[in-house]
Every structure is written in C-alpha cells, then in structure tokens.
Amino acid sequence: MLNNWINKYKWEKIFPYIVIIIGLVQGLIYVFLIPPWQHYDEPGHFEYAWMIANHDSFPQKGEYDNEVRLEILESMKRNDFFNSPSLQKLSTVAHTYDPVWIGITQVGDPPLYYVLTAVPLWVLKNASVEVQLYASRIISLILFLSVIFYAEKFAKEIDPKKKYFYYLFPISLVLVPAFVEHSVAMNNDVLATLVYSIILVYGIRTIKDGINLKRLFFLFLLIGVSLLTKASVWLSVIVVPLVLYFSWFQKKKPLKGSFILVFIALAGIFLFFELKDAAYWLPTSNQSLPTKTNTQYGTALQISSQPETNSLSHFITDGRQETNEVAGKVVTIGAWIWSDIDKTTIGAPYLNYVKDKQDFYLTNGSIEITNKPTFFAFHHNIPENFDFLYLVFEPVSTDENLQNVYYQNPLFVIGEFPGNIEPNFDVGKNSGEWNREGVTNLVRDHDLKKTWPRFRPFILELFNKIDYRISRAASWIIYSLDTKATFWYTQESFENLFRSFWGKFAWSQVVLSGNKPFRPIKIFSLIGLILSLFYLIPKLSKKNVNIFFWLAIAIFGNLFYAWFTGISDNSFFGKPQLPDSRYIFVSIYPLLGLIVYGWSSILAHVQKRFRIGLISLYFVFFAYININAIYTIVQFYY
C-alpha cells in the first residue's frame, strides 16, 4: 500500500517540499544556535541595514551611526563576543573610538541585501538589537530556502532523466552544515549564492535549448542584480555573455566554440603580457618599467625611484621548515650597484624577515653610488626562529635627479665575507669562490638569465588610473609563479577552503571536534570526485561539452576570486589571510555537484542488493558531520 502511494509521480511532486522542510529545520537550528554577532562581520552588516531602516537618507560609504554602534557594542559584550584574550582589552576602550568600534564596516557595499534585511528592522524598530538581528537572520533563511528551491532545478538540468542525482543533490545541499550555518547568518553572501545559482540554472538551460528574448532579458537582469549584491558575483559580467556565446555554437558546431575561446584566451595572454621582468623578484609597487634591463655593464635589475620609492623583494627561505640552513647563521648580502646619474645616496639592500605575522628588518643605512658598478657587501646575524626571509632592494633617495638604480649579480651567502674582495661565481651556476672559500649564492638566478612575464605598460597605466593597488596585486599574481616562495599559500588556502566548506563555523574559529575529523570527509569527497570523472568523461560529447566548459569557467573564476582575496591582502609575505568557503559558496552547485554526481552514478550502476548499503553509508556520513557540527558549536559557546 505504501509503495502504491509513494509512486514515482507523487514522490517527484512531494520531494522538493520535503527538502525545503529539512532545509527549514536545519536553517532554524543554526539561526538560533549561533549566538548574536558570531558570524563574519555581522555587526557591520547589521549597522548598514539598520541605517537604511532608520535614516531619512540612504547611507553612503564612510557614514556611521554611533548611537546604534553603542547598542551593538553593549550587545556584543552581553553575548560574550569579547571572550577571546586578544579582544578583552579592546572591549574596555571600543566605546571611546570615533566611530565606536564594532568591527569592519559594510556601509558602501552593494545595497540589495541590506535593503531586504532593513524591512524587518523597520518593523521592529522598538525591539532590542538582538531581536532585530534574529529577524534579519530569518531573511537570510528565506534566501537560503530559495537556494534549495533552485537546487532541484539545477539537478534537473544536469540529470534530465531524474535518476539518483536529482534526489541526492538537493538533500545533500541542506546537509552541509557549514553552508547552512553561514547562509542563515546576517551576511550578503547568501544573496550572492542565490543570484549566482539562478545564473547557473538558466545558463545551462539557455546553452541547451537556445536563446530567446525572455531568457536574454532575464540573464542580463541577473547581471544588474549581481552588481547590486556583492563583488563575489560580479563574475557574472563575464559568465552571462559566455552563456550566449556557447548557446550560439551549440546548434552549429559545439566543439568550435570551445576551441575559439581557448584561442582567444591565448591571444589575450600575448596581448596583455610581455616577457621583460626578472624571474623570482616581486616588485612591491606600481613601477611601470621592466625590472630586468640590458645595460652597458650587462643585464641588471632595474628599480625606478621616481615618483616614489619602489622596491624588489626576493624570497630566500621558509624558516618554518626543519631543514632551514640559514637560521642562527651569519650571512653576507650584496650586489654591484649603480645609478643613471654621476653620484647619489640611496638606501642600502636589507633583509626582511617575518615572525608571528610581524615584519622585522635588518637594515644597513645608506650607501653612496655612482654611474658605474660598485660592489657592496653587508653582514647580518639571522635569528634562530622566523617564518620567512627576504632580500630587499629599495633605493630610498631624496635626490630628485635620480631616475633609476641598477643591481647586478645580487647575492646572499652563508658566512661573513669581506666587502673589499669581490666574489667570483661560475657562469650560469650559483656556486663560486669568495676570499678563497667556496660559497653558494642562495639568490636564485642571480645572473638574471631567466625572464618572467609582466603586464604591458598600457595595462599597468590603466590599473594605476583605476587604483594603484590593482597594479600591485597584479604583480602578486605573477609572483605566484615562484612556487618555492608562494605555493605554501596556495596549498594552505585550498586546505582552508575545503575545511571551511564542510566544518568550520562562526568566524572560522569553531572547527569540527574529534581526532582528525576531516579525514573521513576527504575520503568521501575524493571517492565522489573520482567517480564523477569516471562517469563524466565518457559523456563529454559534442552535445554537452560547452555546458561542462562553461561550468568549469564559472568554478575557476570563483576559486580564483577566493585565492586572489588573500594575496591582495599581502599574504605572500607571511601574513596569510587565507580565504574561506564564504568566497566559494556562490559556486556550491557545481562544486558539491561534482562530489554528489559520482556517488549518484555508482548507485545507478550497482546491483540492487548493494544499493541500500551504499545509500545508508552516504547518509551515515552526513549524519556524522551534522551531529558533530551541532555538538562542536554547543561545546564552544554553551
């Protein structure tokens, strides 16, 4: 009787509602489980919405309201926000600041989410800020349920035959605890996720079925909504036009569209970049000249000192490694240095080391240089403990006539060697002799044989006109080619993205409890990804290659955005601001879908007697992370 009632058609009709109900229960748990203000920048988000609800004019960037800030601050104290030792002292003086300290302000961000959350704040003007905060979280919960609603549509587009993926994907989405917890916070990320999810659903549908006026209008409307939502979905400006591009090729020659796009990307690389910079050196400013140049004295590093002092930094070693050969040693640094004028004074080369996320400098004062190469050498005692060590050339000068300074054969060697005797290094090698002793130069490619790409001058000028920080961040992107210096950041970033995707909560300070709790999650995810590749690769036919390629671009763009947010915060220099999953949740459909698709595919191919066991194992996994998540949060806060 039960089987007759839950037949295929009725089950398909009631299934979306079942998922919504589960999502509602999950969402309500986290709305009230996480104490007030314990989500990323929640005080700042609340202030923005409150000002919209209570002010006669729309707040502009830089504006604030100390009255509500004091209320928020007192609420933060009541709810033990300042329990952390590093914040306890701040709680005693935060009210004396102008503006009152409540964390990072959000006023001036795209306004759409804050207009929506301002509605309950306007209705509940006389309620406490805690009640108003929970009411705002309910708005986020509604947006989260909308994401769940569109998940079923995404599953239909990916799996039109409505097999196991259609059922597993939406239910899996509401069972990822970190996603649910962050989505019901007072935070504009959930609206960004909703907007991008709708773009993905209708983008796939348009590529498959073709363009019509209704879809065209809707997709471009979504671009406008994206611009009013959050920077993490501004990628829609690229993603939506690519939908139209792939849709046009879909009915004619599907593979041709992908090939042409790859060709355009390669052409863009040649258009925007040139091979003129010195390998392994980071320009820490907006210098428009190449860092590598040919002079009458040979190839040299080139640093422009006008209109502001620029610098080049070279990574020497990672002090966190057990096999760190320079810790506690005396070292000698130096180079042959000259300028483009007869005589001037500049800042000498120095060392920068990072320890506990703080910069320390081993400096050498000033040196006098001429327009001919002169050898300079300096000695330093390297500390026993540090995180990262860099050699820095920064020609600080007050001479208005000075334009460029040149550095040839930069060196960093272990030991104390005389500056009045020049070293001799073998051509193309880092080994040589100094004062009759064998030495190894730890500066890689010290004779500047290798060349790196750089943005062409017209691109750098454009960056500088928009914001000089863009030019600097662009240099950091290229510097990531030095994997010895930077791969630790990429590795730690993706590790943090994975952990925060599944089991880091509330400012990422609450982590799943247990002995290696992420190991079973890694195994589960890896199995799903491997199975997805196994079943998807044979399906890469001409019919669906454009869809997969478009989704890959959407995922890559979002992952790049997350990675870039960290390096634009100077993370390469030992002060890592590792991105977390809030930057990639906008792409949760394809990211989680890759894992779920593998599991759903194996379920469709195994014999029935094994199917129940696999389904049970699947949901035992989600039961584990959800029970552990609630237990961990309760243990931390209550």
Q: Considering only 129-138, 320-329, 478-487, which range has the smallest mean pLDDT?
A: 320-329
Tell me what pLDDT residue 469 has: 63
Tell me what pLDDT residue 8 has: 54
Residues 248, 172: Cα–Cα separation, whole Å: 33
Tell me what pLDDT residue 173 has: 96
Tell me what pLDDT residue 285 has: 66
Q: Provide the pLDDT confidence category of residue 101 given band limits of 50, 70 and 90.
A: very high
User: Which of 394, 303, 397, 422 minimizes the C-alpha distance to 343?
Assistant: 397
Bridge partners of 433? 424, 438
Q: Which of 468 and 393 is assigned the larger pLDDT?
A: 393
Residues 455, 471: Cα–Cα separation, whole Å: 9
Residues 261, 628: Cα–Cα separation, whole Å: 45
Tell me what pLDDT residue 585 has: 95
Tell me what pLDDT residue 9 has: 55
Q: Please, what sign has the CA dihedral across residues 481, 504, 235, 543?
A: positive
Q: Provide the pLDDT confidence category of residue 252 given band limits of 50, 70 and 90.
A: low
Bridge partners of 333? 378, 412
Q: Provide the pLDDT confidence category of residue 6 given band limits of 50, 70 and 90.
A: very low
**Residue in the structure block whose two tokens are 């925060």:** 500
CB atoms within 10 A of CB 507: 14
pLDDT (tens digit, 9 = 90+) per residue, 205-219?
A: 998 888 888 888 999
Q: Provide the pLDDT confidence category of residue 249 given band limits of 50, 70 and 90.
A: confident
pLDDT (tens digit, 9 = 90+) per residue, 363-375?
A: 999 999 999 999 9
280-449: CATH topology is Jelly Rolls (2.60.120)
| Entry pTM | 0.87
Tell me what pLDDT residue 163 has: 79
Q: Where are the domains of the chain?
A: 280-449
412 pLDDT higher than 60: yes
312 pLDDT higher than 70: yes
Averaged pLDDT, 615-624: 93
Mean pLDDT, the chain, whole residue set:
89
User: What backbone phi and psi angles, to 5 degrees, belong to 551?
Assistant: -65, -35
Averaged pLDDT, 284-302: 86
3-state secondary structure 316-375: EEECCCCCCCCCCCEEEEEEEEEECCCEEEEECCEEEEEECCEEEEECCCEEEEECCCEE
Angle between the 236-250 and 189-209 helix axes, to the nearest 10 degrees? 10
Per cent of the chain over pLDDT 70 is 94
Tell me what pLDDT residue 607 has: 80
Averaged pLDDT, 137-156: 95
User: What backbone phi and psi angles, to 5 degrees, belong to 315?
Assistant: -70, 130
48 pLDDT higher than 50: yes
Tell me what pLDDT residue 378 has: 95
8 Å CB contact between 501 and 179:
yes
350 pLDDT higher than 50: yes
Averaged pLDDT, 28-56: 95
Q: SS3 for 583?
A: helix
Q: Please, what sign has the CA dihedral across residues 627, 628, 630, 635?
A: positive
Buried b (16+ CB within 10 A) or exposed e, 60-69: eeebbbeebb
| Tokens found for residue 90 | 């701040």
Q: Provide the pLDDT confidence category of residue 294 given band limits of 50, 70 and 90.
A: very high
Tell me what pLDDT residue 224 has: 95
Rg of the chain (C-alpha set): 29
Q: Considering only 106-110, 308-312, 578-582, which range has the smallest mean pLDDT?
A: 308-312
Angle between the 164-173 and 588-605 helix axes, to the nearest 10 degrees? 140
Torsion of CA 559, 563, 565, 571, to 10 degrees: 170
- Is 53 buried (19+), middle (13-18) or exposed (0-12) by CB count in 10 A? buried
Q: What is the DSSP letter of 101?
A: P
Averaged pLDDT, 130-152: 96
Q: What is the DSSP letter of 33?
A: H
Residues 513, 185: Cα–Cα separation, whole Å: 22
pLDDT (tens digit, 9 = 90+) per residue, 518-573?
A: 999 999 999 999 999 998 887 766 667 888 889 998 899 999 888 888 887 777 77
Residues 535, 158: Cα–Cα separation, whole Å: 13
Averaged pLDDT, 311-322: 87
Bridge partners of 511? 504
Residues 614, 94: Cα–Cα separation, whole Å: 54
333 pLDDT higher than 50: yes
Q: Considering only 127-136, 214-223, 454-463, which range has the smallest mean pLDDT?
A: 454-463
Tell me what pLDDT residue 162 has: 67
CA distances (Å), origin 104, targets 36, 40, 101, 403: 16, 10, 8, 40
User: Which of 129, 154, 174, 243 minimizes the C-alpha distance to 24?
Assistant: 174
Sheet holding 292-295, edge to edge: 292-295, 298-304, 404-414, 330-339, 374-381
Residues 401, 136: Cα–Cα separation, whole Å: 59
291 pLDDT higher than 80: yes
2 pLDDT higher than 60: no
Q: Considering only 32-41, 189-198, 267-276, which range has the smallest mean pLDDT?
A: 267-276
Residues 41, 27: Cα–Cα separation, whole Å: 19
Q: SS3 for 379?
A: strand
